[in-house]
Amino acid sequence: MIRKPIFLPGSLYSLGIFVITATCFSVISATISPTIASANETRPNVLFIISDDLNNSIGCYDHELVQTPNIDRLARRGVRFERAYCQYPLCGPSRNSMLTGLYPNSTGIHQNSQIFRQTIPSHHSLSQAFRLDGYFAARVGKLYHYNVPKSVGTNGHDDPGSWELELNPAGCDRLLEEPDIFSLRKNSFGGTLSWYASPRGDKLHTDGMLADDACWVLERCAKRRDRPFFLALGFYRPHTPYVAPQPYFEKYDLSQMPLVANVDEDVKDLPKAALGSHKKDHELLTDPLRQQAIQAYFASITFMDAQVGRVLDQLESLGLADNTIIVFTSDHGYHLGEHGLWQKMSLFEESSRVPMIVSAPGMAQGKVAETPVGLIDLYPTLTQLCGVKSPENLQGQSLVPILKDPTHTGRGWTLTQVKRGGKKGFFGYTVRTPRWRYTEWDEGKAGRELYDHDNDPTEQNNLAESSAHAATVKELSALIHKALPQTFPADGETPALSDKVWAPNLTNP
């Protein structure tokens, strides 16, 4: 079946720009036995929603300004993880880790523009495992790394073995509006702070089109109840450039956008590596520009939330909601001036923490889990919930016990890493427990950090050199060094990156 072209109205249509996606749905068999069909109809579906560069500026995470009514209602029907963290605060490494269920030291992916098939080509990705177990697996938008915004409308650095259907729309934000976008560096958008209040409506933007495509896929899936689905929906906002329709900007009073104070005093007790994600561009920011950037970031979140709402509405209207597991998360957190930093790539709370909500049939509803968890835990969780066979070398924990009883502690900590100093540089590792964040740079040779979240939730006071906390430093350092070997493959070596082109093979990669 070939999908009809999507013609965009207004300015895009007048330019003759349109989006065509042609993909054939595969059919298992025209003669599925009644027993198999009945069993498949009881297997839960999965709707996996991920937002790009989204921190915890969300209503249900107690943010005082940001309006996210649709993510909030999802939290009311599922379990919201208060302390969820990425394993690497950068798109490519984080997404490869999450979608393989392996730490970055085992995927070998420590930067963008790479895919795990270059290092561990035989590993089954999350959605591939579902495909091989009879699920229809579709991707709409960004799941693996993309060069945003230039790769919008393409497959980006995607994995062809992971999906049966791929949809890559490109809207006005990519095809029309780039000349109008303000940027700290002219004509630089993806890695540079940049924003624009668009005069065009939701459905002309890429994220609006992604919601349309997801609704279309759900409609198809509703007609085939004999085959469960794994639908992955990756929104681009609030990744730079922060482009959203003008009405979303109007929800946020520019003069009320919060600015971080006392940065000079805050950073005095920090090792150099802690601030290694600083960009020269950010020194161009004035307070008015900072407030504009924050307003645009918040507007982009609320715009993205509206698209989430459209998809949730479609799921419910088609009668699919009661038998569908819904995940909402982000690839990493995001700085908005804390510690003088913007964007990602630090090991502070703002950069490593992510929103995570899981709503699953038969599990707890409207509850909050306080114990630390990681994106790496989603793979074993979803396969267990759906009875899907998973690789034996997964490194995360299943969150099913926590979904049943959110007071369950599980592993009780989570680990995040980042690299400093280029190809021959060193790693920083941070461990997060319910109370503490402890960070070591180059095994402590390039500095240490310790923060008491019970008394210092914004991580202003580095206690690592305090004699009063020497025992805590010793304990958490031992935890990192005990956990670290678990992040590597069985042979203890990070797999090398291959330049060879992977020949896609669904069953025996």
The count of residues in the chain is: 509
Task: Determine the pLDDT at residue 198.
Answer: 98
pLDDT 10s digits, 70-95: 999 999 999 999 999 999 999 999 99
Task: Determine the pLDDT at residue 427.
Answer: 98
Count of beta carbons in the 10 Å neighbourhood of residue 74: 23
Strand partners, 393: none
Angle between the N-to-C axes of helices 287-317 and 206-222, in degrees from 0 to 180, rounded to the nearest 10: 10
Contacts of 455 (CB under 8 A, 6+ apart): none
Q: Give pLDDT < 50 ranges for the chain.
A: 1-36
Strand partners, 182: 195
Residue boundaries of the structural domains of the chain: 44-261+268-415
CATH 3.40.720.10 describes domain 44-261+268-415 = yes
HSE of 78 in the Cβ direction (CA atoms, 13 Å)? 27
Closest by Cα among 54, 307, 305 to 169? 307
pLDDT 10s digits, 288-311: 999 999 999 999 999 999 999 999
Count of beta carbons in the 10 Å neighbourhood of residue 393: 13
Give the alpha-carbon dihedral of 362, 367, 371, 374, to 10 degrees. 60
Contacts of 445 (CB under 8 A, 6+ apart): 426
Pairing of strands 165-167, 136-141: parallel
- Alpha-carbon separation of residue 299 from 254, 333, 336, 338, 504 (angstroms): 11, 17, 14, 19, 39
Closest by Cα among 330, 254, 341 to 298? 254
